[in-house]
Amino acid sequence: MILAFNGSPRLKGNTATMLQAALDGAASEGAETRLIHLRSLNYKGCVSCFSCKLKKGRHGHCAMKDDLSPILDMMEEADALLFGSPIYYGDVTPEMLALEHRFLFSHMLYNKENRWVFPRKIPSAFIYTFGVTADQAEAVLAPFANVHGRMGEMLGVKSDVCYSANAWQFSDYSLYEADRYDPAAKKKYHEEVFPEDCRKAFEMGRRLASTKA
Ligand SMILES: Cc1cc2nc3c(=O)[nH]c(=O)nc-3n(C[C@H](O)[C@H](O)[C@H](O)COP(=O)(O)O)c2cc1C
């Protein structure tokens, strides 16, 4: 099962569309897939209880009990993981950040060796969508190298990444205070470039399903 997480509160927005394209790619390779919308779950970020690091504790297990608990258990069994988030003020959404923190931190020990306690090797991938133009993508994505690196280390396979820039945010730009954007140019970009971004996500989904750890 390939598990995908939509960090956007919009269930049919840019991120959800890119995620679905990636899952379609994975399904074309015969993978079973599931998309989970984080907004429909009630949970908090890591509370720094350190239960996951107790010598006599359950390593690789987050002790918090909320809607994320069964999801974290499912992640333990998944064949691959896909994380999708819009960029909000230079970061992923709070929902995605809380998931990433709890997943990573509960599988990490403060030991010099055997630092990560994830039981298997599985591939992972990240999808980002954002409003600024593609020429700024490198700067937008640079802060996430840390989380990608750690996720790859923990899961034993380097993570894959793709993105879509210059996001189409409203269906009718004339209704909003947004005159910094040219609606015709936005529409053209959405019609011509976004499908290409989705095609790249589809290919990433295929890779995710066919990567052998
Ligand atoms: C609260 C908020 C903050 C945002 N901050 C940024 C930002 O810092 N940089 C950026 O390029 N886009 C920013 N955006 C635009 C979104 O990243 C963009 O519209 C994204 O594609 C939304 O994804 P969705 O359609 O899946 O919800 C922001 C949007 C919102 C709602």
Domains of the chain: 2-210 (3.40.50.360)
Residues touching ligand 1 (Cβ under 6 Å) are: 8, 10, 13-16, 86-90, 129-132, 167, 169
pLDDT band at 89 (very low <50, low <70, confident <90, very high): very high
What's residue 211's pLDDT? 84
Residue 124 amino acid letter: S
Q: What is the mean pLDDT of the chain?
A: 96
Residue 111 has pLDDT above 80, yes or no: yes
Residue with tokens 């609606």: 183
What's residue 157's pLDDT? 96
CA of 90 to the centre of ligand 1 (A): 9
Q: 23: exposed, middle or buried (C-beta count within 10 Å: 0-12, 13-18, 19+)? A: buried
d(CA 81, CA 78) in angstroms, rounded, equals 7
CA of 31 to the centre of ligand 1 (A): 30
Q: What angle do CA 161, 205, 60 make, to 5 degrees?
A: 70
CA of 118 to the centre of ligand 1 (A): 32
pLDDT band at 136 (very low <50, low <70, confident <90, very high): very high
pLDDT band at 213 (very low <50, low <70, confident <90, very high): low
Of 94, 102, 97, the C-alpha closest to 126 is 97
> How many residues would you count in the chain?
213
Task: Give, as one character, the DSSP assignment of residue 42.
Answer: -
What's residue 28's pLDDT? 97
Token pair of 93 as six digits: 């959404």
Mutate to test the pocket of ligand 1, among 5, 8, 39, 88 (most ligand atoms within 8 A of CB): 88
In this structure, how many other beta carbons lie within 10 angstroms of the beta carbon of residue 44? 12
Closest approach atom of ligand 1 to CA 136:
11
Percent of the chain residues past pLDDT 90, beyond the cut: 97
d(CA 64, CA 69) in angstroms, rounded, equals 7
Residue 160 has pLDDT above 90, yes or no: yes
Residue 140 has pLDDT above 80, yes or no: yes
Residue 114 has pLDDT above 90, yes or no: no
